[in-house]
Structure 1
C-alpha cells in the first residue's frame, strides 16, 4: 500500500495531462468528447442530516486511525528541529504518524480542508461515495497537501460527491449541476465541523483546485457577515482564481497583504516561465464569479506569495524552506530546500522562473503549469505561514 501513494497519483496525473494536451492541440469539441461525461446528469438527494456524524464520511478528522493528514516527509526530522524521527515518517496511509506532541509546537486552530478533484470519468458527473478509486485518490491528496497543516491536531477533510474533471472542461448545464451537488456535501460537512470544534477555537480554511472552487462559495454562504467570520484566522483558497472584483467583496475578507495578516484570503496559481495560460483562463471563464457575473477576460485575481506571505510578493529560492519532492523508487517523499523561487507577476500568476531542476516525474502539466504543485512546491513555507498567521490571530484576540 505504501507505494500506491505515488503510483496512483502518477496515473491520475497522466490522465489530467492527457486532458490538457487535448485542450492544447485539438479542437475543444474533441476534448469534450474524450473527457466530459457522456451520461446524463442524475441529481442525487441531499445526504441525511446526520451523515457527517459518521467518521467514515471523513478522509481526515481528529482521533482517526491511520489519518493521512498526519503524514510527514521522510527527511522532516533532519530539516526541522524537534520534529519526529524519519523512521516514523512513512508516506504509507496505514503507517502515517502524527508529529510528536511534546517536541513540536502545536497550532491551536481547527483546519477545514477540501481536497481537489480525484474523479476522472466519462460515465458519471459526480463521484459515488462507494467509489473506491476516487476515494483513494482523494485520500492521497489529503496526505500530500493537508499534511502541511498537521502542527494542528484538528484537521478535518470531508469526503464529498466531487464533480468529475470534465465539469471544468465544458459550459454545459450539467457541469454546473455537478458542481452544485458537490458543493452541497461540502457545505453540509462544514456545518458538522463547526458543531464539533470548540466554540471559541480559531478556524483555518484550506482547499485546492475543485476544493478551492467550493471554498469560495462556502465563505460567501456560511461565513461572510456572520459571527463565524471573527473566528477565521486565514483562508487558503489555492489553485483556483479568486477575483478581486467578482469574488472577494462577497467573501467578506481582504487578500492577505502581509505575512502576519489575519482574517484574510491567500491564493495563488503556479507557473514556470514561459507560462502558457490559455487553458487556465478558458476554464476560469466558464465559471461565473460569486456575484453571478461573468469574470471577463481581464479580471484580476489574488496572488499571495507563499514564500514571503505578501500579496504581490517576490522571494528568492534561498527563502524556500522546503519543496516536497516524490521519490518513486522508495515510495516516499522528501523535502528539498532553496530550489524554487516565487514571484507574483503582473498577470496575477505566481511565477517560479525556469522549470526547477527537481525530479518531479510526469507531474508537470503542459504549458509549464505547476497546478498539481501549488501547495507542495512550498510545503514548508506554507507550514510556517499557517503557524505564523494563527499565532498573530491569537495575539490580536488577546
Structure 2
C-alpha cells in the first residue's frame, strides 16, 4: 500500500511541475523543527530498523546481506519534498517521506549485499526553491546540509566503529555528500575508512577537486578507492537541456556558497566500465537496469544489455531511448533527461562495482587474509544445458559452499566449481559462501536460466 501511495505522490508531483504549480514563491517563515539523530524516527534507514533499504528487485534473485556486511553506506536521498509553502520540508512530511522510501528502495538497495545502510531524514530544500535565484538558494541549502552533517557526525561517533564506509548521495543528496567530503572526511581519520563516494545527479566541476578535494580524487578506474564517482545520465542529442542542467548548484568551499557549474569542465565517469580508459561501452556490457516508475514493472528483475553508454567528458549519454514501460519519472523531467534514473539504470553495474571497490579496499589492509568473493552478482545460463562456472575468491579459500543452488547443479567444496545441468527457466536466489582459517565471506548470486 505504501508503494502505491508513493507512486501516486510521484505522479502528482510530476503533474504539478508540468502545470507550473510548484514555481510559486515560498514564504521564508520559521524553519521546521530539527531532527534528533539519537532518535530512530529521524532515520529513513538504519540497521535493525525495517526499511525499504532491505528490499531487492522482485524476482531478481538477490539477497539483503546487511547482517553479514563488512562495510557501511551512508546514503543521502535526493529531493522528495514538493511543497511550495516553505523553503525546507519537515522531516515528518508524509508525502516527502513516501517518496523518500521510494528513492531509498531504488538507490540504496544496490549496496545491501555488502553494506549496512544508514540514511537520515533531513530538512531538505523544497523542489520549488531550485526555481529561485542562486542567492535565495543559499539559506535553504545550508539548513539542509546542517542536518545531514549532524546525522553524519552522529553516525561517525556512534555507529561506524572503524568500519569501511561508502558515502552515497543523489541530486540534492550528492550536493550534501560533496560538502561532507570537504568538511568532515578529507584529511581526517574518516578518509582512511572511505571505500568510495558515489555522487550521481549533479554537475560537479573538475575545479572542485583541483581547489578543494585535493586528497579525494575523481574515480577513474573500477577498483579505485578513496575516490568520488560522478555521473549524470541523458539521452544522446539532449541539446539545450544539458546547458540548462549546468545551472544546478554545487558547494564551492573557497567562496563558502552554492554556485552553478555553468561553462566549467565537469567530472564524469561511465557507470558501466567505471573507467576513463573505456569511455564508451556497447549495450552488451551493460550489467542491468532495475525498472523505475512504471507500476507494472517497478523494481523488478534487472534488464541487462539495455543501453550503450558514452562518457563525453561531461555526462553519461545513453542510447536507445528508455522504454516507457520500464522507466517513468512522472513528468518531473521527461524527455531524455534521465536524472531520476541515474542509479536505477545501472543498478546491477553499481552493485557489482561497489563489491569490487570494497574488495580492493580490504585487500589493502595488511592484516586481512579472509577470503573475498569476486564481484559477480548475476549469472545467466541456458536452461537444461551443461554448466561449468568457477566461483572465484581472493586469499586462497579452503572451502566453498552454496545455499539455494537449483537442482541439477553442484558446487565442488574444494575447488569452487559449479557444474551440472542448468535448471528449468527461472531465476534462483543463490548464496555463495567461502572460508579459510582467517575468516569467511558471503555473496549473493542471481542465477537465471533461460
Residue number in structure 2 paired with 1:39 = 26
Cα distance per residue 1:315-361 (max 9 Å; x no partner):
11111111111451376533111111211014x11011231346235
- State which of 197, 207, 225 in structure 2 corresponds to 1:262: 225
Structure 2 residue matching 1:261: 3-state secondary structure: coil
Give 1:41 shift. 1.5
Match of 1:57 in 2: 42
Q: Distance in 2 between matches of 1:163 and 1:100?
A: 30
Conserved in 2, the CA contact under 8 Å of 1:162 and 1:182?
A: yes
CA contact (8 A) 2:42 2:120 kept: yes
Please give the per-residue CA displacement for 1:37-77, whole angstroms capped at 9, x wherever unaligned.
523323538837xx101111101100012x11011111211
SS of residue in 2 equivalent to 1:204: strand
| Residue aligned with 2:11, SS | helix
Partner of 2:283: 317
Deviation at 1:129, TM superposition (A): 2.2
Query: Partners of 2:220 and 2:296 in 1: how far apart?
Result: 41
Matched, 1:396 2:358: no
Distance in 2, matches of 1:180 and 1:37, equals 21
CA RMSD of aligned residues (A): 2.5
Tell me what 1:337 maps to.
Answer: 304
Q: Is the CA contact (8 Å cut-off) linking 2:22 and 2:128 kept in structure 1?
A: yes
Distance 1:235 1:204, change over 3 A: same
Equivalent-residue separation in structure 2 for 1:14 and 1:148 (angstroms): 29
Deviations, residues 97-152 of structure 1 (Å, cap 9, x unaligned): x3496xxxx55211000000011121111111231111111111111111111113
List per-residue Cα deviations over 1:160-202 (Å, max 9, x = no partner). Answer: 0001112222215332111111110000000111123343211
Report whether the alignment pairs 1:216 with 2:178. yes
Alignment of 1:52-91 (within 5 A): 52-65=37-50, 67-77=51-61, 83-84=62-63
Q: Determine helix, strand or coil for the equivalent of 1:298.
A: coil
Distance 1:36 1:290, change over 3 A: farther
More strand by share: 2
**Structure 1 pair 393–361 and aligned structure 2 pair: CA distance change class (3 A):** closer
Distance (whole Å) between structure 1 residues aligned to residue 250 and residue 195 of structure 2:
27
Work out whether 1:200 is the aligned partner of 2:187: no
1:373 to 323, 326, 341: 341
Give, in whole Å, the separation in 2 of the partners of 1:350 and 1:330. 24
Change (3 A) 1:229 1:119: same
Decide whether aligned partners of structure 1 residues 325 and 285 sit closer, same or farther in structure 2, where only a CA change above 3 A counts: closer
* CA spacing shift, 1:15–1:262, aligned 2, 3 Å: farther
Q: TM-score with structure 2 length normalisation? A: 0.73
Q: Which residue of 2 aligns with 1:271?
A: 234
| Alpha-carbon separation, structure 1, partners of 2:261 and 2:190 | 31
* CA positional deviation for 1:278: 3.6
Aligned to 1:23: none
Question: Does the aligned pair in 2 maintain the 1:276–1:368 contact within 8 Å?
Answer: no
Q: Which moves more between the two structures, 129-138 or 283-292? A: 283-292
TM-score calculated relative to the size of structure 1: 0.82
Answer with 1 or 2: which has the greater Rg.
2
> Is the 8 Å Cα contact of residues 274 and 354 (structure 1) preserved in structure 2?
no
Unaligned runs of 5+ in 2: 367-450
The Cα shift of 1:276 comes to 2.9
Match in the other structure for 1:10? 11
Between 190-199 and 132-141, report the one with greater CA deviation.
190-199
Taking the TM superposition and a 5 Å limit, the aligned residue runs for 1:72-221 are: 72-77=56-61, 83-84=62-63, 98-99=64-65, 107-171=69-133, 173-221=135-183
Three-state SS of the structure 1 residue aligned to 2:119 is strand
- Report the count of equivalent residues: 358
Aligned match for 1:360, one of 311, 316, 326? 326
